[in-house]
A and B are shown apart, each in its own frame.
Chain A
Amino acid sequence: MNKIEVIDISLDYMDNGKRFHALDRLSFSVKEGEFVSLIGSSGCGKSTALGVLSGLNHPSEGKVLIDGHQIKSPGSDRGVVFQHYSLFPWMTARCNVILGINHAREKIPKREAESLAQEYLNKVGLEGFENKYPYQLSGGMQQRVAIARTLAMQPEILLMDEPFGAVDAKNKMVLQDLLLNLLQRDEHVKTIVFVTHDVDEGILLSDRIFFMNNKRIGQEIAVPFSRPRIRNEIFDTDEYRALRRQIMSLFYQNVANQIGGAEVYL
């Protein structure tokens, strides 16, 4: 059975009395344990779709099923990491993580929550920074805390919206490897939906890539590499280059369509 089933969701934003159609009968499904990426040019509705999955956005039509049950609101079965640092500025790294743990599970003893928080902060490499406030941490470090917080809540599903989009190139690679590593070892998170506009990132991380186009899934691309994955081994293969070319051509096509079919040089 599919873990996540997105069935024909449409969503309209109301912006100053004007209706904006952001999703148009979007459908896809994700198997348990699968890592899928939503890729597409910016403004195509990736965040909106993820917002529906997380329960923050309500579709005007269609529904999302998780384990066969329709979702209506955020729930502790799903953890979300946003692009922009979503930590509470008034709490230290540790308190941010503990707050997440306390709200994900009923009545967890204080001692246990603390050691769990420490465990996950260690996992993302933040030993020694537990008592720092977000403003004292770099963007990449804040994102590590956000990841630690979400993983510590031990959700079955992880939803990530361009989590490394605002991190510099070098840190981005470090964080991608960290995520690959954590997911291989973490026994709690099983299913991931990851939003990105970075083709390399999508290929490196995903089992399947959904290319979004016209407010729905335009194309589905399987990524055949076995796990555990090692960046340099993958990036050197012909398969990788072919995949990359395929996805890039979808982007070009997209741009060409938008500007009226004229020949495009990029």
Chain B
Amino acid sequence: MKKLYRLLPHLLFLLLVALILLPSNVEVPSYWEFLLAAGAIEVVLILKRHSSAATNIGIIVMAFLDLWEYYTTRVDGVNTMLYPIPQKVFALYITDFQRISMGVVSSLRLLFLSFFLALTLGIVLGMLVGWFENARKALFPIAKVLSPIPPIIYSPYAVALLPSFRSASIFVIFSSIFWSVFMNMILSVSSVDKKIMDSARTLNIKTIGMFAYVLLPNSLPMLFNSLTVSVSTSFMVLTAAEMIGATSGLGWYVKYYSDFADYTRVVAGIIVIGFVVTMLNVLIRLLRNALIKWR
């Protein structure tokens, strides 16, 4: 039973390969891109075969691909404009490579710039405000009011208000990250273990050293937790902003082709967005493991 369960994602993969290779209702110009993508997922699943989470995810992903492939190529009367055929979607990654990769680059550039600004300001201001009790008591309640306002809400306004789309989207993405970093930083600085603080003070560590050797490292684990959430929300905000005013980027790509009812490209864009977010999360995890070795 257990063995079969472990084999299931791989059986589903084989089924998918069969569905792709065997003759079907529809003509596709090229199928190897989809085959390759499925193969890449299968390789990851084989590498991670000892993780039961990976097995579960593998089952879901492969089953989804099977259903998608079966529904679009084997069921009669399916509207393949609304339900694009996977082979066609994945073939776009070759034929539309330039536009998609430029979209990725353009989105990531905005994202990294905003992240950099939000992290630096959030960490520095959060530490200062957390450290000085008066500043904390005045600013924390204000931050509590402003932070829950979802930036997506004011992104159209920001696009209208600010001189360029670029500055508007940087502002919106910035605000989606800044508040959580800022507030988490305040909380962690003002709640450092008293034993640690006492110990630091008896070592004669002065204010600057406190920030560098105690407060910053103490807040790193929490900072990374909030970062994982921030990446997802910021990407959401980014794509939403791009849908309003951009001329490139992943959000723009999806929106632009939606207007032409080119849902093959829409689905391709959505998959890329998911992929990019996943890669960003992997990056954050690697960074966390490199920086936080103490537990």
Contact = CB atoms under 8 A, between A and B. Distances in A.
Given A84-B195, A88-B217, A76 B204 contact: yes
Contacts of B196: 86, 88
Interface residues of A, number: 27
Contacts of A149: 203
B2 interface: no
A218 interface: no
Given A75-B204, A88-B214, A135 B294 contact: yes
A121 interface: no
B213 interface: yes
Contacts of B74: none
Among B198, B199, B201, B209: residue with most chain A CB under 10 A: B199
Contact of A99 (B202, B213, B292): B213
B294 A89 contact: yes
Interface residues of B, number: 20
Contacts of B218: 90
A74 B199 contact: no
B294 A80 contact: no
A208 interface: no
Contacts of A55: 201-202
A248 interface: no
A40 interface: no
A239 to B, nearest CB: 36
Contacts of A90: 217-218, 220, 292, 294
A103 B203 contact: yes
A216 B293 CA distance: 45
B269 to A, nearest CB: 41
Interface in B182-208: 195-196, 198-205
A56 B202 contact: yes
A135 B295 contact: yes
Contacts of A202: none
Nearest to B295: A135
B59 to A, nearest CB: 36
The B interface is mostly helix, strand or loop, or mixed, namely helix
A76 B205 CA distance: 10
A6 interface: no
A133 interface: yes
Contacts of A86: 195-196, 198-199
Nearest to B209: A103
Given A88-B213, A88-B217, A82 B195 contact: yes
A103 B294 contact: no
B293 A80 contact: no
Nearest to B218: A90
A175 to B, nearest CB: 18
Nearest to A146: B199
Contacts of A78: 202
Contacts of B217: 88, 90-91
Contacts of B198: 56, 82, 86
B294 A104 contact: no
Contact of B201 (A56, A84, A104): A56
A163 interface: no
A232 to B, nearest CB: 34
A99 B209 CA distance: 10
Contacts of A56: 198, 201-202
A133 B293 CA distance: 8
Contacts of A91: 213, 217, 294
A54 interface: yes
Contacts of A80: 199, 202
Contacts of B204: 74-76, 103-104
Which of B199, B202, B294 has the largest number of chain A CB atoms within 10 A?
Answer: B202
Contacts of A59: none
Given A88-B196, A88-B213, A99-B213, A54 B294 contact: no
A152 to B, nearest CB: 11
Contacts of B195: 82, 84-86
Which of B198, B217, B295 is most buried by chain A, counting CB atoms within 10 A of its CB? Answer: B198
A149 B292 CA distance: 23
A4 to B, nearest CB: 16
B202 A89 contact: no
Nearest to B206: A103
Interface in A91-124: 91, 99-100, 103-104
7 contacts: A54-B202, A55-B201, A75-B204, A78-B202, A79-B202, A91-B294, A133-B293
Given A100-B203, A104-B203, 17 more contacts: A55-B201, A74-B203, A74-B204, A79-B202, A84-B195, A88-B196, A88-B199, A89-B294, A90-B217, A90-B292, A90-B294, A99-B203, A103-B204, A103-B205, A133-B295, A135-B294, A149-B203
Kindly list the 3 A-B residue pairs having the minimum CB-CB distance in the complex, ordered from nearest: A86-B199, A90-B217, A80-B202
